Chains A and B, each alone.
Chain A
Amino acid sequence: DGGITQSPKYLFRKEGQNVTLSCEQNLNHDAMYWYRQDPGQGLRLIYYSQIVNDFQKGDIAEGYSVSREKKESFPLTVTSAQKNPTAFYLCASIDGGALEAGELFFGEGSRLTVL
């Protein structure tokens, strides 16, 4: 079955460490997104990528980095510069990036806790 796989599901990090969250999709979607979810807040867009080797900052990109070397993969690195990294991170994808043409599919998320 097609879908989005995020790993790890749970991750603990010490302050000052970088961590990378994996997002892989086999839906053949062009566009991929990273969101951050905090309790009592909606989803906030961190980074997105419409095509391979191209990505754009979202609303809260500071302290994060991404790469898009392959169509199916869009890893997110949470750097030590991110002041409050404890959160639930969601990866999503859509065919072509157009809301009219498709549906935004989400992975099951990765919960990052900084100790």
Chain B
Amino acid sequence: AQSVTQPDIHITVSEGASLELRCNYSYGATPYLFWYVQSPGQGLQLLLKYFSGDTLVQGIKGFEAEFKRSQSSFNLRKPSVHWSDAAEYFCAVGGHTGTASKLTFGTGTRLQVTL
């Protein structure tokens, strides 16, 4: 069965500092991988996705993620965090059946940004 692990429940960074949020997945083949962001009391917004090809993917709001097959990881990065990035971030894995009904979400990492 597929699964996603986000080891960090809560991360605090200073504004302007770099950020890396960890995501490890378990899937029997090449996965589809996603990062979503959720502001308090809101729905989720897609930051970026990986299906195939270049293992470094660029997303919205200056985020990027790197797919590392050997480490079963898809970590999210941002070079310089802004206070508005404070939110909860979810990693998700989906299979090549391609339907959203097969998405598995991680438990999320809450990001706090200090000024």
CA distance A33 to B105 in the complex (A): 14
Supposing A94-B100, A97-B100 touch, asked if A43 and B43 sit within 8 A by C-beta, the answer is no
Among the stretches A69-77, A79-87, A101-109, the one at the interface with B is A101-109
Instruction: Determine the chain A residues whose CB is within 8 A of the CB of B99 once the complex forms.
Output: 31, 50, 97-99
CA distance A70 to B61 in the complex (A): 35
Could you tell me if A97 and B103 are in contact, using CB atoms closer than 8 angstroms? no
Could you tell me if B100 and A33 are in contact, using CB atoms closer than 8 angstroms? yes
Query: Would you give the 0/1 interface string for A14-56, flagging 1 where the beta carbon is closer than 8 Å to chain B?
Result: 0000000000000000010100000011111100101000001
Instruction: Determine the chain B residues whose CB is within 8 A of the CB of A94 once the complex forms.
Output: 100
Chain B interface category by residue count: 20 to 34
Instruction: Determine the chain A residues whose CB is within 8 A of the CB of B94 once the complex forms.
Output: 99
Supposing A4-B43, A33-B100 touch, asked if A99 and B107 sit within 8 A by C-beta, the answer is no
Could you tell me if A104 and B100 are in contact, using CB atoms closer than 8 angstroms? yes
- A-B interface pairs (CB < 8 A), number: 67
Instruction: Determine the chain B residues whose CB is within 8 A of the CB of A63 once the complex forms.
Output: none
Q: Is the interface of A mostly helix, strand, loop or mixed?
A: strand
CA distance A6 to B44 in the complex (A): 13
Could you tell me if B90 and A106 are in contact, using CB atoms closer than 8 angstroms? no
CA distance A54 to B106 in the complex (A): 28
Instruction: Determine the chain A residues whose CB is within 8 A of the CB of B107 once the complex forms.
Output: 40-42
Q: Which of B32, B94, B101, B108 has the most CB of A within 10 A?
A: B101
Binding site for A on B (CB under 8 A): 4, 9, 32, 41-46, 49, 51, 90, 92, 94, 98-101, 103-108
Listed from nearest, the 10 A-B pairs whose CB atoms lie closest are A106-B43, A42-B105, A43-B105, A106-B44, A98-B98, A48-B101, A108-B43, A42-B107, A97-B99, A94-B100
